[in-house]
Amino acid sequence: MSKDSTPLPPYFNIDPDAALAELDLPTGTEGFAAIAEACTRGRADLASRGMNEEGRKTLRLFSTWEITRYLIPVAQAHFRRVLKQNPDLPQGRSETEGGAKWFTLDEVLRLRAHFGAQGSKAKNYLPYRPKGQPAKLVAVANFKGGVGKTSTAAHLAMSAALDGYRVLVIDLDSQGSMTSIFGGRVEDEWQTAFPLLARHYGEYLRVENQRRLDRGDAPQPLDEALSAAMKMTARDVIQSTHWPNIDLIGAQLNLYWAEFQIPVWRMAARGWKLWDALTDRLAADGVLDAYDLVFIDTPPALGYLTINGLAAADILLVPLGASFLEFDSTGRFFDMLHSTFASIEDGENMAARALGRPEMAFEWDAVRAVVTRFDGAQQGELSALMQAYLGKTLSPHRQDFTALIGQAGERVHGIYEADYRDFNRETYARGRETFDATYAAFKRLLLGVWRRDELAAQAAAE
C-alpha cells in the first residue's frame, strides 16, 4: 500500500518555539513612528525616480508620431510641411542626426492653437467649451478602497490636459496620493483646501457678528486661524505642476484636521452652510473662469471634506471593480449619499418653509459609475449583470487592466507620462487604448452636459 505523497497544507505542524524565534518585540506607540519614517524614506526614494536634478517632476517629450496620432489630427507629412512653412512655430528637437522630432507639451499646445486658427474647420483641433459657461467640476468618489479612484481622476485630468483643456486638480484626501502623482509639495494644512473652507466660515461669522451687533449682542471672535484664512484666496494654495496646463491644490496629513474642525464651526454657527464652502470660494476667487475642468479627488469616506467635494461637483464619477463586494459596497455608498444629502435638504427646507424662502435641492448634471481594472475573461458576466441593474448610471465602457498600469505605478507616474520607447509602439498603443476609451466616455458626457447648458442659456436669452 503506497503512502499518500500529497504535501500537507503549510498551516500544519508549525512549531511554537520556531514561531517564537521569528517573532520581533512587541510594538508600542513609538513603533508606529519608526514604521512611518521608514515608509517616508522609501516613498522619497521611489518618488525621486521621476524627478530631475532639482528634485522636481518633469514631463516627458512627445514625438511627431505621437502628436499626429493622439494629439493633433493631421498626417505626419502635413505636420512637417506646416512646421517648415512656419519657422516661428516650435520646431522640436532631435536626439540623433536626422532622427524623430520631439516636443514639450507646451510646444504641442502652441501647435494645436496654430492648427485651430489656421487649419481645416472640419477638424476639432481645439477642445469644445461653450462661451459664457463656467468650468465643470468633476468629483471622483467611492468609500471602497482599491477601486482606482485616484488613478482614474489623475488619468482623466491628464487626458483632458493632452486634449487642450486647462485643468485644476483638488486633492481632498489627506493621504495625498494625487498630490504625489503631480509632484506637489505641501508643508501643512495652510497649503491645502483648508484655508478656503476656513475663510468661508469666517465670512459667514463676520456677517453674523454684524447682525449680533445690530441686536445689541456680543460678537463671536475670529480666532487667529480664521483671521489668517480671511486674507487667503484660492490663488494662495494653487500650485503649478510639471504639466503646463494642470494646476493643483494639494493635500497632506494635516488636512484631516478639517474633519474635526468643521463640525466645531457648525455647532457654533448652525446657519453656516458648510457644504457650500468649497463651491462658493472657487467661484468667488475666479477659479471657474480660469480653468475648463476641475477634478476633485475625495477621501474614501463620507466625511465633511467629501461632502464639500460632492456638493461642489457638476459631474460625479464612482469607480468600482466588477466584483460582488465592490458592487455591494457601491450600492451602500449611493444609499449613504441619499441619506446625507436628503438630511441636509430636509433641515434647510424646514427652515426655508418657515421663513417663506425658496427651498433648496442638490443636483448633479450627470452621475456615472465606472468599472475599473476590468478582466473581460473573468468578469464579463458579472459586469453585464451590474449593467442590467444600473442601466445608464453604469458607463458601458470598461477600463481594462493592462501591464502598462503596473509599470506606470512602479515608476510613480501616470500612463500618459510613460514614454512609449520603454515598451514599443504597438504595446504602448494597445496599453493606452483603454484609458483613451475611458476619457472618450467621459468627454462624451462632458460635452453633452455643456451643450445642454449652452442650449438652456440660449433659450433663456430669447
Look at residue 25 and give its three-state secondary structure: coil
Asked if residues 433 and 71 have their Cβ atoms less than 8 Å apart, the reply is: no
Model pLDDT, residue 159: 95
Give the Cα separation of 179 and 183 in Å (integer).
6
Strand partners, 248: 169, 239
C-alpha cell, 453: 447648458
Model pLDDT, residue 410: 47
Grid look-up 461642489 returns 312
Please list the pLDDT of the chain residue by residue as tens digits (462 residues). Answer: 556 678 888 888 888 988 888 888 888 888 888 888 887 787 677 666 656 656 678 899 999 999 999 999 999 999 999 999 999 999 999 977 777 899 999 999 999 999 999 877 778 899 999 999 999 999 999 887 777 888 889 999 999 999 999 999 999 999 999 998 999 999 999 999 999 999 999 999 999 988 888 888 888 888 898 999 999 999 999 999 999 999 999 999 999 999 999 999 999 898 999 999 999 999 999 999 999 999 999 998 889 999 999 999 999 999 988 888 888 888 899 999 999 999 999 988 988 888 888 888 999 999 998 988 877 778 888 888 888 988 889 888 888 776 555 554 445 567 888 888 877 777 778 778 888 988 999 999 999 999 999 999 999 988
Q: What is the pTM of this model?
A: 0.89
Max Cα–Cα distance, the chain, nearest Å: 101
Put residue 103 in one of left, alpha, beta given phi > 0 → left and psi -120 to 50 → alpha. beta
Model pLDDT, residue 46: 64
Sorted by sequence, the CB contacts under 8 Å of residue 234 that are 6+ apart come out as 196, 249, 281, 282, 285, 286, 287
C-alpha cell, 169: 486638480
Which amino acid is located at 37 in the chain? E
